[in-house]
C-alpha cells in the first residue's frame, strides 16, 4: 500500500458513555464517564498496534469535549482535526448493561456536536493522506453530517485509500429504520472492508444464517473485498473471494461489558490489512487475522469503557496462545 502520513483516519462520533458502576450509599445508580465513540475506539486499538491515526469530528466546547480530546491525545491519536463548537454540547450516552454483558443505550444527542459537521469543515488534507479511511453510520443520521461523510468517502477513494465501514446500527438515533437501512446500503456500496454484526446482517437481509445473509450482500455489493461478520459470544466469520473462515470467540470468563468489542475487532482487521494488503489472502491468513481480532475483542470486554481499555499487543498474543 502507498505510504502516506496516516495509516488510518476515522470520521464520526466522539462521546461519553456513562456506564453503570454500582450503587451509592443511598441506593442510587452510579455512572462512570467513559470516553468513547466507535471510530475513536477503533483508532485507540490501532495505536496499541503501532499505527499512526487521526480522528475527524466535533465536540462541544464543554467539560466533556475537553475530556475527550485529552483522553484521545493520551492514547496518542492525532486530534489536530477535532473541532470544538461553543453552541452545541458533546453527545452523551447512558449505557445499561445486562448480566450477559450486552447493552442498551439512551442517547442525549438532538442535537449533539458530532452530528453538526458541515462539508466545508472537513480536513481534506488529512483524508487524502490516509491509507485507510474508516466511518460508520452515526455520521450519516442527519443531512448536514451525511453530506460531509459522503464527501469524505469520495475524497478518500480519489486519493487511493481503502474504505472501512462499520454500520454500528443504533435505532434510537434514526428518524426511521428505513432511513438507517438506506444509509447502511450507501456505506456497503462504497466500502472495501465492512465489519458487520450478526444483528445488523439480519436487519439488512432478514437472514439469521450468517452465510446466507453474507451471500446476499456480497452479491449485491461486488465492490466489497473482505467481508467480516461478528457474532458476539459465538465468534466471527471472514469472507474473501471464494474463501470462508469461522473462528470461535475467545471464552476465558470475566466479561464485564461488551462496549468497544466490535471496534477492537475492526481495528485488528484493519491492522492486518495494513500489514498484508488485500491481495492473495489465504485461509491461514484469514484464520490468523480472526483469531487475533477475537482475542483482542474478548480482552476489552473484561474492562469497562473502550478507549482506555484497549489491550496491549503482547497481552493479545499471550492470551491467543492459551
pLDDT (tens digit per residue) in 190-248 = 999 999 999 999 999 999 999 999 999 999 999 999 999 999 999 999 999 999 999 99
Task: Specify the pLDDT at position 195.
Answer: 98
Domain count, the chain: 1
Task: Specify the pLDDT at position 101.
Answer: 64
Binning pLDDT at 50, 70 and 90, where does residue 162 land?
very high
CA–CA gap between residue 150 and residue 38 (Å, rounded):
18
Contacts of 315 (CB under 8 A, 6+ apart): 299
In-domain check, residue 322: no
CATH of the domain at 99: 3.40.1190.20
In-domain check, residue 261: yes
Is residue 5 within 8 A of residue 14, CB to CB? The reply is no
In-domain check, residue 304: yes
Average pLDDT of the chain to the nearest whole number? 95
In-domain check, residue 318: no
**H or E segment to which residue 130 belongs:** strand 130-136
Task: Specify the pLDDT at position 310.
Answer: 95
The mean-pLDDT minimum among 44-53, 102-111, 166-175, 254-263 falls in 102-111
In-domain check, residue 56: yes
Q: Is the pLDDT of residue 76 over 90?
A: yes
Q: Which of 103, 107, 164 is nearest to 141 (CA)?
A: 107
Task: Specify the pLDDT at position 322.
Answer: 64
Looking at residues 47-60, what average pLDDT do you find?
98
In-domain check, residue 221: yes
Q: What is the residue range of 183's domain?
A: 6-313
pTM beyond 0.85, yes or no: yes
Task: Specify the pLDDT at position 1.
Answer: 63
The string of DSSP letters for 214-280 reads HHHHHHH-TT-SEEEEE-GGGEEEEEETTEEEEEEPP--S-----TTHHHHHHHHHHHHHHHH-SSS
Q: Is the pLDDT of residue 32 over 80?
A: yes
CA–CA gap between residue 181 and residue 283 (Å, rounded):
31
Contacts of 296 (CB under 8 A, 6+ apart): 45, 264, 265, 267, 268, 310, 311, 316
- Percentage of the residues of the chain whose pLDDT score is greater than 90: 87
291 burial (CB, 10 Å; 0-12 / 13-18 / 19+) is: buried
pLDDT (tens digit per residue) in 265-306 = 999 999 999 999 999 999 999 999 999 999 999 999 998 878
In-domain check, residue 65: yes
pLDDT (tens digit per residue) in 77-114 = 999 999 999 999 999 999 887 777 677 888 999 899 99
In-domain check, residue 148: yes
Question: Rounded to the nearest 5°, which phi and psi values hold at 272?
Answer: -65, -40
Task: Specify the pLDDT at position 3.
Answer: 81
Q: Is the pLDDT of residue 26 over 80?
A: yes
Q: Is the pLDDT of residue 321 over 80?
A: no
pLDDT (tens digit per residue) in 113-155 = 999 999 999 999 999 999 999 999 999 999 999 999 999 999 9
Amino acid at each position: 500500500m502507498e505510504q502516506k502520513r496516516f495509516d488510518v483516519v476515522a470520521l464520526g462520533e466522539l462521546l461519553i458513555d456513562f456506564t453503570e458502576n454500582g450503587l451509592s450509599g443511598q441506593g442510587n445508580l452510579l455512572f462512570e464517564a467513559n470516553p468513547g465513540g466507535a471510530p475513536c475506539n477503533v483508532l485507540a486499538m490501532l495505536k496499541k498496534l503501532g499505527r499512526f491515526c487521526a480522528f475527524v469530528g466535533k465536540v462541544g466546547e464543554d467539560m466533556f469535549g475537553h475530556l475527550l480530546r485529552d483522553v484521545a491525545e493520551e492514547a496518542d491519536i492525532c486530534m489536530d482535526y477535532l473541532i470544538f463548537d461553543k453552541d452545541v454540547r458533546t453527545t452523551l450516552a447512558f449505557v445499561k448493561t445486562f448480566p450477559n454483558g450486552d447493552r442498551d443505550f439512551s442517547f442525549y444527542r438532538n442535537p449533539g456536536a458530532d452530528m453538526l459537521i458541515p462539508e466545508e469543515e472537513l480536513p481534506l488534507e488529512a483524508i487524502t493522506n490516509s491509507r485507510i479511511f474508516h466511518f460508520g453510520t452515526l455520521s450519516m443520521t442527519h443531512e448536514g453530517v451525511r453530506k460531509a461523510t459522503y464527501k469524505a468517502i469520495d475524497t478518500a477513494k480519489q486519493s487511493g485509500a481503502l474504505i472501512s465501514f462499520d454500520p454500528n446500527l443504533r435505532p434510537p438515533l434514526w428518524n426511521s429504520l428505513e432511513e438507517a437501512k438506506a444509509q447502511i446500503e450507501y456505506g456497503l456500496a462504497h466500502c472495501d472492508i465492512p465489519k458487520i454484526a450478526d444483528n445488523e446482517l439480519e436487519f439488512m437481509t432478514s437472514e439469521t444464517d450468517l452465510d446466507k445473509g453474507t451471500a446476499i450482500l456480497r452479491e449485491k455489493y461486488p465492490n466489497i473485498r473482505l467481508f467480516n461478520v461478528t457474532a458476539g459470544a459465538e465468534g466471527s466469520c471472514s469472507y474473501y473471494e471464494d474463501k470462508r473462515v469461522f473462528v470461535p470467540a475467545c471464552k476465558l470468563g470475566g466479561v464485564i461489558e461488551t462496549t468497544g468489542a466490535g471496534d477492537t475487532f475492526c481495528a485488528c482487521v484493519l491492522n492486518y490489512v495494513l500489514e498484508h494488503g488485500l491481495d492473495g489472502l489465504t485461509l491461514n491468513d484469514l484464520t490468523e487475522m480472526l483469531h487475533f481480532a477475537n482475542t483482542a475483542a474478548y480482552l476489552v470486554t473484561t474492562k469497562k469503557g473502550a478507549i482506555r481499555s484497549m489491550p496491549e499487543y503482547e497481552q493479545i498474543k499471550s492470551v491467543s496462545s492459551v
